[in-house]
Amino acid sequence: MSYQVLARKWRPRKFAELVGQEHVVRALTNALDTGRMHHAYLFTGTRGVGKTTIARIFAKSLNCERGESADPCGECSVCTAVDAGRFVDLLEIDAASNTGVDDVREVIENAQYAPSRGRFKVYLVDEVHMLSKPAFNALLKTLEEPPPHVKFLLATTDPQKLPVTVLSRCLKFNLKRLLPEQISGQMRHILGAEGIAFEDAAIAELARGADGSLRDGLSLLDQAIAYGGGALKADDVRAMLGSVARGQVLGLLQALAAGQGEALMLECARIASYSPDFGGVLDDVAAVLHRIQLMQLVPGYQAEGDEGAGEELAALAQQFAPEDVQLYYQIATTGRRDLPMAPDARTGFEMAVLRMLAFRPGEVGDAPAARSVPARAMPAAATVSSPVRPAPERATPSAAAAPRPPAPAPSAPAPAPAGAAPASRRAVPTDARGLPDWVALIDQAGLRGPLGQLAQNAALRDRDGQTLTLVLQEAHMHLAVEPMVGQMEERVSDALGERIRLRFVSDASAANQTPAARAAEARDAAQARAEQSIEEDPLVQALKRDFGARVVPQSIKPVSG
């Protein structure tokens, strides 16, 4: 006997055998049991979630020789003929290859005749959205006034392309993508029945690779069994799928938590040695960050697959701030999206990881030198290039300001006067309206990283009791979400010494009022002054006049005072 692939061998033949579509099964079961059946049903959903399978089971339920029932016998000649694909009153039409009006007209003409063997003539039109407009128009008349012995079952992966006139005449059921645990549970059931040994980690990898489609998952399972010589091992499945072990991703995040760039790149190289799908690796990074965030914000919660790495995940949950996890998750998902635009997949992956390191916030109060990535020194003067001939040897005064004298050695701190605020909570200055100085409050509250980005792009409008109202441009409103707002409230409350609530509202006028806008304005002004100073420098003017030199604008950096 020839081998039958698992997706066909284990195709559900009864509603009870379906996985993950309980909402559809319940509606159809009740309709069959009560005799309240519609003449046209539309099943939508991604590939491999059971659209045509449900349609075939429904056809058996309507025509089973033992009577209409939500539980067809599966043994009579009608049921076995439907399962074998040779029941004369079940007409399956592939709309992808039969798109024309002539094909549909033939269906309509035959619909008026009574069924040959069963009680109902069932038309199953797969990928119905592929029909041409004239074909839809031809079908519409029959959908409006169908013969009592005809049922239409339409299936599509793209319901948006269906005419509204067709949608309005069908009962629509949206089939869900299956969860990894639903797919893995069905795989374990099948492997147990087939007597095939497997590792749980291998099943988890295949379930993730199925991407919500049980049919795709069973196809991968067939492939993995062949790859592993009749057994399922996690390493074999990862090699087949181009994925990496959870430990590799944890090592990557551990190096990131330590701020060790060299260790981070070693982990990247180790992952690259497996020739993985780098998009899948970024998906794995995002999945681990999701589990870490759950541990941080939902204590006691344990997601599937955490059992073998609970201690490592718990340690990372302690090392990362919750807002940093949100930032890294966003970088991982956007890096996944941007991979096709990278010079190559590995470069895109490494840049996403390095972006996490570059945006890794330092501890509150850290000096710039203490950051894991040292700041690059800015040039003290403009770069002046001479394309014609070199300048004569002579002393060239710097166009930048004179170097500052060394700072005096720090002296012992003076004792704080009686009644002064403690050093950990200095008094925040207020304006004429009694509102706290927002820039000073940001510094006092230690708002850095994503919290700092939200604060710098907000402007303090007013205060009502314990509530501070902050305005944001619409483009930045997506930042004002939990848990970030809650964390900002805690830090602002600590800085002011009282319980504060924050209220964010959208206002286009915030564009010129925020600390970020004012800082950008100050930078632009300083840059303009620096460029003007260079252009007016006598030496620069002489070089331009005598040697055809030019000033490279990008090389001019204002000197911070």
pTM across the whole model: 0.53
Q: Tell me the C-alpha to C-alpha distance, in Å, between residue 441 and each of 13, 437, 489.
A: 66, 6, 12
Burial of residue 273, with CB atoms counted within 10 A of its CB: 0-12 exposed, 13-18 middle, 19 or more buried: exposed
Taking only the tens place, the pLDDT of each residue in 383-412 is: 444 343 344 443 333 334 334 444 444 444
Is the pLDDT reported for residue 64 higher than 50?
yes
What residues contact residue 471 under an 8 Å CB cut-off, 6+ apart?
A: 458, 459, 461, 504, 505, 506, 507, 509, 510, 513
68-69-75-81 Cα dihedral, nearest 10 degrees: 60
Asked if residue 460 has pLDDT above 50, the reply is: yes
Residue 160 pLDDT > 80: yes
pLDDT for 85-135, tens place per residue? 888 888 888 877 765 666 677 777 788 888 888 899 998 888 888 888 888
Q: What distance in Å separates the CA atoms of residue 48 and residue 8, rounded to the nearest whole number?
A: 12
The pLDDT of residue 302: 62
Q: Which residues contact 320 (CB under 8 A, 6 or more apart)?
A: 257, 292, 296, 328
Structure tokens at 352: 């996403």
**Can you tell me which residue has the tokens 């069905």?**
186
Q: Say what the pLDDT of residue 285 is.
A: 93
Is 537's pLDDT higher than 60?
yes
Q: Find the mean pLDDT for residues 471-480.
A: 81
Q: Is 354 exposed, middle or buried (0-12, 13-18, 19+ CB in 10 A)?
A: middle
- Can you count the helices (H) and strands (E) in the chain? 22, 10
Q: Give the count of beta carbons closer than 10 Å to the beta carbon of residue 176.
A: 16
Mean pLDDT of 35-56: 88
For residues 205-211, average pLDDT: 84
Cβ(270)–Cβ(341) below 8 Å:
no
Of 381, 192, 39, residue with least CA distance to 200:
192
The more confident residue out of 82 and 94 is: 82
Query: How high is the pLDDT of residue 369?
Result: 37
Pairing mode, if any, of strands 550-551 and 384-385? Answer: antiparallel
Q: Which CATH class is domain 6-174?
A: alpha beta
Domain made up of 438-513: CATH architecture: 2-Layer Sandwich (3.30)
Please give the average per-residue pLDDT across 32-49, as a whole number: 88
Q: Nearest Cα to 510, choosing from 482, 556, 542, 470?
A: 470
Q: What is the pLDDT of residue 356?
A: 94
Structure tokens at 484: 């970030």
CATH topology of domain 180-241: Helicase, Ruva Protein; domain 3 (1.10.8)
The average pLDDT across 358-375 equals 49
Share of the chain above pLDDT 70, in %: 83
**Residue 376 Cα to chain centre, angstroms:** 32
Residue 138's pLDDT is: 81
Q: How confident is the model at residue 210 (pLDDT cuts 50, 70, 90)?
A: confident
Q: What is the structure's pLDDT at 326?
A: 93
pLDDT for residue 243 is more than 70: no
Q: Is 467 helix (H, G, I), strand (E, B) or coil?
A: strand
Topology given in CATH for the domain delimited by 246-358: Zinc Finger, Delta Prime; domain 3 (1.20.272)
Q: Measured between alpha carbons, how far is 161 from 96 in angstroms, rounded to an integer?
A: 13
Distances (CA, A) of 320 to 174, 256, 317: 39, 10, 6
pLDDT band at 363; cut points 50, 70, 90: very low
245 — pLDDT class (breaks 50, 70, 90): low
Q: Domain extents for the chain?
A: 6-174, 180-241, 246-358, 438-513, 518-555
- What mean pLDDT do residues 71-94 have? 88
